[in-house]
Structure 1
Amino acid sequence: MRRPAVFQNPSKDLSPSEVARIQEIIDRYRGTKGALLPLLSEVQVACGHWLPANVLAWIADEVDVHLSYLYGMATFYTMFSLEPRGQFIVRVCESPACHILGTQTVLEALREELDIDVGQTTPDGLFTLELSSCLGVCEVAPAMQINEVVFGNLTRQKIHEVIERYRRGDVVDYRKLPGSGGRVRTDWEIHRRAILLHGVGDIDPESLDDYLAIGGYEALRKAVLGMSPEQVVEEVKQSGLRGRGGAGFPTGMKWSFTLPLKAPEKYVICNADEGEPGTFKDRYIMEGNPHRLLEGLIIAGYAIGACKGFIYVRGEYALSMHRLRRAVEQARERGFLGQRILGSTFSFDVEIRSGAGAYVCGEETALIESIEGLRGNPRVKPPFPGVRGLWAMPTVVNNVETLANVPAIIKNGASWYRSFGTEDSPGVKLYQICGHVNAPQIVEAPLGLTLRELIEVYGGGMKDGIPFKMCQTGGASFGFFTAEHLDTVMDYASMQKKGGALGSGTMLVMNEKTCVVDVVRNIMHFFQHESCGFCTPCRRGTRVLYETLCRIAQGEGRESDLSLMVDLAQTMSATANCALAMSPIFFVRTTIERLKDEYLAHIVDKKCPLGVCSA
Structure 2
Amino acid sequence: MDQRRILICAGTGCIASGAKKVEKAFQKALEERELHKTLEIVLTGCHGFCEQGPLVIIEPEKVFYCRVEEKDVQEIVESHLINQKIITPLLYQDALTGRNVETYEDINFYSKQERTVLRNCGRIDPEKIEDYVAQEGYKGLKKALSMTPRQVIDEIKRSELRGRGGGGFPTGLKWQLTAEAAGDEKYIICNADEGDPGAFMDRSVLEGDPHAVLEGMMIAGYAIGAQKGYVYVRAEYPLAIERLQKAIDQANAKRFLGAKTLQSTFNFTIEIKAGAGAFVCGEESALIASMEGQRGMPRKRPPYPSTQGLWGKPTNINNVETFANIPAILRKGAAWFSSMGTDNSKGSKVFALTGKVNNTGLVEVPMGLSLRDIIMDIGGGVKDGKAFKAVQIGGPSGGCLPEELLDLPVDYDSLKKAGAMVGSGGLVVMDESTCMVDIARFFLNFTQKESCGKCTPCREGTLRMLEILEKIKAGQGQEEDLKKLERLAAVVKKTSLCGLGQTAPNPVLTTLRYFRSEYESHIREKRCPAGACTALLRYTILPERCVGCTLCARRCPTRCIEGKAKEAHRIDSIRCIKCAACLESCKYKAIVRV
Regarding TM over 0.5, the answer is: yes
Range with greater deviation from structure 2 (436-445 or 493-502): 493-502
CA 1:180–1:315 in 2, change beyond 3 Å: closer, same or farther? farther
* Shift of residue 263, structure 1, vs aligned partner: 1.2
CA 1:283–1:180 in 2, change beyond 3 Å: closer, same or farther? farther
- Using the alignment, how far apart are the partners of 1:192 and 1:180 within structure 2? 12
CA 1:151–1:519 in 2, change beyond 3 Å: closer, same or farther? farther
- Using the alignment, how far apart are the partners of 1:193 and 1:467 within structure 2? 28
Instruction: Give ranges in structure 2 of 5+ residues lacking alignment.
Output: 1-10, 19-42, 56-63, 65-103, 536-594
Aligned to 2:292: 372
- Alignment of 1:221 with 2:142, yes or no, is yes
- Alignment of 1:558 with 2:482, yes or no, is no
- Using the alignment, how far apart are the partners of 1:427 and 1:578 within structure 2? 27
Alignment of 1:60-459 (within 5 A): 182=50, 186-187=104-105, 190=111, 194-224=115-145, 226-459=146-379
- Using the alignment, how far apart are the partners of 2:495 and 2:477 within structure 1? 26
Aligned to 1:538: 458
- How many residues end up aligned between the 2 structures? 447
3-state DSSP class of the match of 2:180? coil
- The letter for the 2-side match of 1:330 is Q
* Shift of residue 267, structure 1, vs aligned partner: 0.3
- Using the alignment, how far apart are the partners of 1:457 and 1:593 within structure 2? 27
Aligned to 2:88: none
- Using the alignment, how far apart are the partners of 1:374 and 1:549 within structure 2? 34
- Alignment of 1:471 with 2:391, yes or no, is yes
Aligned to 1:92: none
Q: Deviations over 1:213-240 (max 9, x none)?
A: 000000001111x101100000000000
Instruction: Give ranges in structure 1 of 5+ residues lacking alignment.
Output: 1-135, 141-148, 153-175
- Using the alignment, how far apart are the partners of 1:193 and 1:389 within structure 2? 35
The answer to whether the 8 A contact 1:554-1:607 is kept is no
Aligned to 2:500: 580
1:614 to 534, 551, 557: 534
- Alignment of 1:511 with 2:431, yes or no, is yes
* Shift of residue 180, structure 1, vs aligned partner: 11
- Using the alignment, how far apart are the partners of 2:441 and 2:336 within structure 1? 44
- The letter for the 1-side match of 2:375 is I
- Using the alignment, how far apart are the partners of 2:164 and 2:454 within structure 1? 26
* Shift of residue 606, structure 1, vs aligned partner: 2.1
Aligned to 1:82: none
* Shift of residue 193, structure 1, vs aligned partner: 5.7
Q: Deviations over 1:262-298 (max 9, x none)?
A: 3131001000001012321111210001001110011
- Using the alignment, how far apart are the partners of 1:504 and 1:589 within structure 2? 20
* Shift of residue 504, structure 1, vs aligned partner: 2.1
1:491 to 389, 397, 411: 411
* Shift of residue 435, structure 1, vs aligned partner: 0.6
- Using the alignment, how far apart are the partners of 2:444 and 2:399 within structure 1? 13
CA 1:454–1:392 in 2, change beyond 3 Å: closer, same or farther? same
3-state DSSP class of the match of 1:375? coil
Range with greater deviation from structure 2 (471-480 or 329-338): 471-480
- The letter for the 2-side match of 1:205 is P
- The letter for the 2-side match of 1:447 is M
3-state DSSP class of the match of 2:446? helix
- The letter for the 2-side match of 1:353 is K
Q: Deviations over 1:160-181 (max 9, x none)?
A: xxxxxxxxxxxxxxxx995598
- The letter for the 1-side match of 2:138 is Y
CA 1:191–1:384 in 2, change beyond 3 Å: closer, same or farther? same
- The letter for the 2-side match of 1:611 is G
Q: Deviations over 1:517-548 (max 9, x none)?
A: 11111111101110001111111111111111
3-state DSSP class of the match of 1:476? helix
Aligned to 2:512: 592
- Using the alignment, how far apart are the partners of 2:140 and 2:530 within structure 1? 54
CA 1:435–1:192 in 2, change beyond 3 Å: closer, same or farther? closer
The answer to whether the 8 A contact 2:196-2:426 is kept is no
3-state DSSP class of the match of 1:573? helix
- Using the alignment, how far apart are the partners of 2:184 and 2:430 within structure 1? 51
Range with greater deviation from structure 2 (181-190 or 602-611): 181-190
Aligned to 2:36: none
- Using the alignment, how far apart are the partners of 2:224 and 2:243 within structure 1? 26
TM-score when normalising by structure 2: 0.72
- Using the alignment, how far apart are the partners of 2:507 and 2:448 within structure 1? 14
- Using the alignment, how far apart are the partners of 1:398 and 1:177 within structure 2? 25
* Shift of residue 191, structure 1, vs aligned partner: 7.1
- The letter for the 1-side match of 2:515 is L
* Shift of residue 576, structure 1, vs aligned partner: 1.0
- The letter for the 2-side match of 1:319 is L
3-state DSSP class of the match of 1:470? strand
The answer to whether the 8 A contact 1:190-1:444 is kept is no
CA 1:333–1:191 in 2, change beyond 3 Å: closer, same or farther? farther
- Using the alignment, how far apart are the partners of 1:207 and 1:357 within structure 2? 28
Aligned to 2:421: 501
Structure with the bigger RCO (C-alpha within 8 Å, sep 6+) is 1
- Using the alignment, how far apart are the partners of 1:191 and 1:300 within structure 2? 31
- Using the alignment, how far apart are the partners of 1:180 and 1:425 within structure 2? 25
3-state DSSP class of the match of 1:259? helix
* Shift of residue 431, structure 1, vs aligned partner: 2.5
The answer to whether the 8 A contact 2:47-2:121 is kept is no
Q: Which has the larger radius of gyration?
A: 2
- Using the alignment, how far apart are the partners of 2:397 and 2:457 within structure 1? 17
Instruction: Give percent identity, aligned residues only.
Output: 49
- Using the alignment, how far apart are the partners of 2:44 and 2:117 within structure 1? 21
Q: Deviations over 1:484-509 (max 9, x none)?
A: 10101111122222222222232211
3-state DSSP class of the match of 2:177? helix
Runs of 4+ in 1 over 4 A off after TM superposition: 149-152, 176-181, 183-186, 188-193
- The letter for the 1-side match of 2:503 is S
TM-score when normalising by structure 1: 0.70
- Alignment of 1:567 with 2:495, yes or no, is no
Q: Deviations over 1:75-114 (max 9, x none)?
A: xxxxxxxxxxxxxxxxxxxxxxxxxxxxxxxxxxxxxxxx
